Amino acid sequence: MGNAPTLSAFGAARTPAAMQDVARRVEDAGFERLWVPEGGQPVFSMCTAAALGTSSLGLGTSVAVAFPRSPMLTAQAAWMLAEATGGRFVVGLGTQVRAHVERRFSAEFTSPGPRMREYVMAMRAIYAAFRGEERLAFDGDFYSFSLLTPEWSPGPMEHPDPPIYVAGVREWMCRMVGEIADGMLVHPLSTIAYLDELVVPAVREGERSAGRRPGEVALVCPVMTAVSDDEESRARQRESIRARLAFYGSTPGYGVVFDLSGWPGVGEQLRSLQRERDFEGMVKVITDDMVDAMSITSTWDDLPGALLDRYGDRADDIVCYSVVEQWRKEPDAPDRWADVTRRFAEQRAAR
């Protein structure tokens, strides 16, 4: 993790044409990368649209749901996008949760941690086969690949292999990321206490156990922002963030973030209220202190410094999670964000 983090945006659109427009606006605003989520549209298709609409913007999936896709299909998509962008593409993978993988995608979710570890290893073997460096011969517990004739391979390219980033929340996955991935995608439900006490030590431990240098794995930290010069607007944005934190916090396994941040048992409380479909009650559980710890509330002028103060010596990439969503509601927001990226770069260089 360096002292000069990049500043990226997060978001997508509903159609390929709209995705091109979003990506162009993110590029014009001066962000260094756009992280595209897997929502109602397939994420690699939306990244392809974004690639066709931009010339310098980095692109990444945050995240591509791994298990419904063969590692071969994911490697092919990543390879194509790396070529299409001149090496500007990063593939970000996530397990998602059991209900979505099994019931939405009808895919296997057994042993998600070891399965994801093997998934990354299989992709690296496939990359080597694409380049013609090794015969494809990967045989694991979950995946096996042994056939890749020249007519079915995209072949070598002049750019490096697309980096593989992996999302994680709990200690085992964060340690595994440190061992074998190129980057760690931190969940937007996070606090500095959680980063310092769990994520960073686990990633570092993984790096050490694999004989990698400290800081070799990039740390990508998303942050939700309530930013405006109008106090009422900031208050409305904070309430939207509060509801999102309640939704994210009800996910099984994410309670560790609250537990390590001084609010033990909040995850279980949110899940219980969700089972009762008490959504208003869920939102009330998220206190102002939680909103402050898990997001940044700021004026436009103060935002670049606030981002650097919180993440400047922790993250390799700070991802502004609320950018595209805010653009849809506030016509002047793109210009304001362009000013943020400019002043962020100036303040980063001065530190």
Note the pLDDT tens digit of each residue in 58-86. 999 999 999 999 999 999 999 999 999 99
CA–CA gap between residue 215 and residue 200 (Å, rounded): 9
| pLDDT value for 105 | 94
Reported as a pLDDT band with limits 50, 70 and 90, residue 3 is low
The reported pLDDT for the residue numbered 329 is 87
pLDDT of residue 193: 98
Q: What is the DSSP track for 248-303?
A: HHTSTTTHHHHHHTT-TTHHHHHHHHHHTT-HHHHHHHS-HHHHHHHEEEE-TTTH
- Model's pTM, two decimal places? 0.96
Residue 90, pLDDT > 70, answer yes
Q: Domain residue spans in the chain? A: 6-225+298-350
What is the pLDDT averaged over residues 141-149?
A: 97
pLDDT one-digit tens code per residue, 8-31 = 999 999 999 999 999 999 999 999
pLDDT of residue 1 exceeding 60: no
Write out the two tokens for 293.
């710890």
Percent of all residues in the chain with a pLDDT value above 90, rounded to a whole number: 96
Amino acid identity for residue 94 in this structure: G
Query: Which string of DSSP letters, residue by residue, matches 99-131?
Result: HIIIIIS----SSHHHHHHHHHHHHHHHHHHHH
CATH number of 6-225+298-350: 3.20.20.30
Q: Is the pLDDT of residue 281 over 90?
A: yes
Contacts of 304 (CB under 8 A, 6+ apart): 340, 343, 344, 346, 347
